Amino acid sequence: MDRLLDAIAAIGRGTLGAARMCGRITLFALDGVSQIVRPPFYPRMVGRALAEIGYFSLPVVALTAIFTGMVLALQSATGLARFSAESQIASLVVLSVTRELGPVLAGLMVAGRAGAAMAAELGTMRVTDQIDALTTLSTNPMKYLVAPRLLAGAIALPLLVVVADILGVLGGYIIATLKLGFNGHVHLNNTLDFLETQDVVSGLVKAAVFGFLVALMGCYNGYNSKGGAQGVGSATTAAVVSASILILAFDYVLTEIFFIR
């Protein structure tokens, strides 16, 4: 009986802890968003965050997208051959890339690269008193450090996903034409015929949400890191893991909203 009560108590403590953390993250996000729209503004910090999240993540996102498109074309060729539906390769690749793989893979890549960097930078600033120093210099750290990153995350990831969509489709095109022997013109026509505006828009909206989540988890974990190097390391790991899980969870929610009627 005691063991059962202990187990129930442990579950209760865990649930309360998770609820507290959700509450803290939500309040942090609300504070960060409210700082985006209230002056003073820090365009230099937004530009710097855009470069960090967007420009410097471009190579890794581009490589991921092009190889994903290539693999998708190869896999769908072998799979669709069983139903004599190889002509559907173009539509399968473009829908998969624009709706799902573009935003999700770009989000995961950016979480691993830029999200980790944000958590490490803010964590180091926290443990070396730089965040306290900002406050003593009449600067709100949420406004100066967090708000520009949240805004940049929501802007940069859709731009990256546009590139990822194009390169993913290009990867499929390369395999379809050069390896599988499809006519390039027909493949391109099939790609465009099956693509609807909503496919691209939904992917870009997902990307904006994922970009915000990556920045939020990077900032939240870094901003609240404790201790020395170990604390910063833990914050960095937590930022990547939590952002990755949230991307997948929100992907389901957004897919439900966009496509399930």
Partner 1 sequence: MSAPANGTVPKLRIRGLKKAFGPKQVLDGIDLDIPAGTSLVVIGGSGSGKSVLIKCVLGLIEPDEGTIELDGKNLLAMDRKGRERAVATMGMLFQNGALFDSLPVWQNVAFGLLARGRIRRAEARQRADAVLAQVGLAPSVGDLWPSELSGGMQKRVGLARAIAASPDLLFFDEPTTGLDPIMGAVIDGLIVDVVRRLGSTAIAITHDMASASRIADSVAMLHKGQIIWQGGPEALMSSGNPIVDQFTHGRREGPITMELRR
- Point out which span in 135-143, 151-159, 175-183, 207-215 binds partner 1 (CB under 8 A): 135-143
Please check whether residue 64 is in contact with residue 105, taking contact to mean a CB–CB distance below 8 angstroms: yes
Contact with partner 1 (CB under 8 A): which of 34, 87, 135, 189? 135
Q: How far is the CB of 53 from partner 1 (least distance, A)?
A: 15
Contact with partner 1 (CB under 8 A): which of 1, 4, 137, 260? 137
- Point out which span in 12-20, 64-72, 128-136, 235-243 binds partner 1 (CB under 8 A): 128-136
Q: How far is the CB of 135 from partner 1 (least distance, A)?
A: 6
3-class secondary-structure state, position 214: helix
Q: Which residues contact 54 (CB under 8 A, 6 or more apart)?
A: 152, 155, 156, 157, 159, 160
Nearest 5 degrees, angle CA 75-CA 106-CA 104? Answer: 65
Contact with partner 1 (CB under 8 A): which of 27, 133, 192, 201? 133
- Length in residues, the chain: 261
Binding residues for partner 1 restricted to 33-62, rule: CB under 8 A: 40
183 touches partner 1 by CB under 8 A: no
Q: Which residues contact 210 (CB under 8 A, 6 or more apart)?
A: 103, 104, 106, 107, 110, 157, 247, 250, 251
Q: How far is the CB of 42 from partner 1 (least distance, A)?
A: 10
Nearer of residues 69 and 141 to partner 1, judged by Cβ: 141
Q: Which residues contact 115 (CB under 8 A, 6 or more apart)?
A: 214, 215, 217, 218, 239, 240, 243
256 touches partner 1 by CB under 8 A: no
- How far are the Cα atoms of 69, 73, 144, 185, 225 from residue 213, in angstroms, in the given order? 25, 30, 18, 39, 18
132 touches partner 1 by CB under 8 A: yes
**In the structure encoding, which two tokens stand for residue 113, read together?**
């690269």
136 touches partner 1 by CB under 8 A: yes
Q: How far is the CB of 127 from partner 1 (least distance, A)?
A: 10
Q: Which amino acid, one-letter code, is at 242?
A: S
Binding residues for partner 1 restricted to 63-92, rule: CB under 8 A: none
x/- track of binding to partner 1 for residues 138-177 (CB under 8 A): xx--------------------------------------
**In the structure encoding, which two tokens stand for residue 258, read together?**
């966009």
Q: How far is the CB of 121 from partner 1 (least distance, A)?
A: 8
Q: Where on the chain is the footprint of partner 1 (CB under 8 A)?
A: 40, 121, 125, 128-130, 132-133, 135-139
